[in-house]
Chain A
Amino acid sequence: GQNIDQPTEMTATEGAIVQINCTYQTSGFNGLFWYQQHAGEAPTFLSYNVLDGLEEKGRFSSFLSRSKGYSYLLLKELQMKDSASYLCAAMDSNYQLIWGAGTKLIIKP
């Protein structure tokens, strides 16, 4: 079956770095997406990886290893506004997004 695993919750300190991991098993693979969702709001797109390696976008970076079925989202210089849920989604061979349950990130001062 198809499956996405990511931690349920993580806590980090303002100004620090946090890495949110995601492992996936899908029928075929057409890329890995990360979205941010603040409480009570809709998800917003953060990144897309389809090739192995690290994609950097400001304070946020996303990494993909296709051979390991693994991705991570790296958040640097954490700010209080980064407190949100981070959703990992893998696109399968039918171009369907398989969603993880999300990782709730709590930032403490």
Chain B
Amino acid sequence: GAVVSQHPSWVICKSGTSVKIECRSLDFQATTMFWYRQFPKQSLMLMATSNEGSKATYEQGVEKDKFLINHASLTLSTLTVTSAHPEDSSFYICSARGGSPQETQYFGPGTRLLVL
């Protein structure tokens, strides 16, 4: 159990385009989903936390107008990187958690974004 999927796994796009990444909990209802970013050889950086049906809470320094998060259902959250630039190239990972805040976060496989 506790499977989280992400799509796509790889994205290569031109600078200025927008990219949407989907995160799905396949076998449980994810009340809360998290979006992380990880640059090579660096630690995970939490970008935002989203609860189903609510606006996402962004971490300090993360532009909410650039990284649009939608958590419309208990099994799906999306992250849209708007007007992507080369510095946005990174490994984006979502995680999902069930109803209790102490429950384990399970991670999706991640999405590698390369902006040319």
A interface, CB within 8 angstroms of B: 30-31, 33, 35, 40-45, 48, 50, 87, 91, 95-97, 99-102
Contact = CB atoms under 8 A, between A and B. Distances in A.
Interface of B: 2, 42-44, 46, 49, 91, 93, 101-102, 104-110
Given A31-B102, A50-B102, A95-B101, A87 B44 contact: yes
A75 B30 CA distance: 31
23 contacts: A31-B102, A33-B104, A35-B107, A40-B91, A41-B109, A42-B107, A42-B109, A43-B44, A43-B93, A43-B107, A44-B107, A45-B2, A45-B104, A45-B105, A45-B106, A45-B107, A87-B43, A87-B44, A97-B46, A97-B105, A101-B42, A101-B43, A102-B43
B55 to A, nearest CB: 17
A22 B2 CA distance: 26
Contacts of B110: 41-42
B44 to A, nearest CB: 5
A30 B93 contact: no
A102 B42 CA distance: 9
Nearest to A33: B104
Contacts of A100: 43
A48 B44 contact: no
Contacts of A35: 107
Given A33-B104, A97-B105, 13 more contacts: A30-B101, A33-B105, A35-B107, A40-B91, A42-B108, A42-B110, A43-B107, A45-B2, A87-B43, A91-B102, A99-B43, A99-B46, A100-B43
Contacts of B46: 97, 99
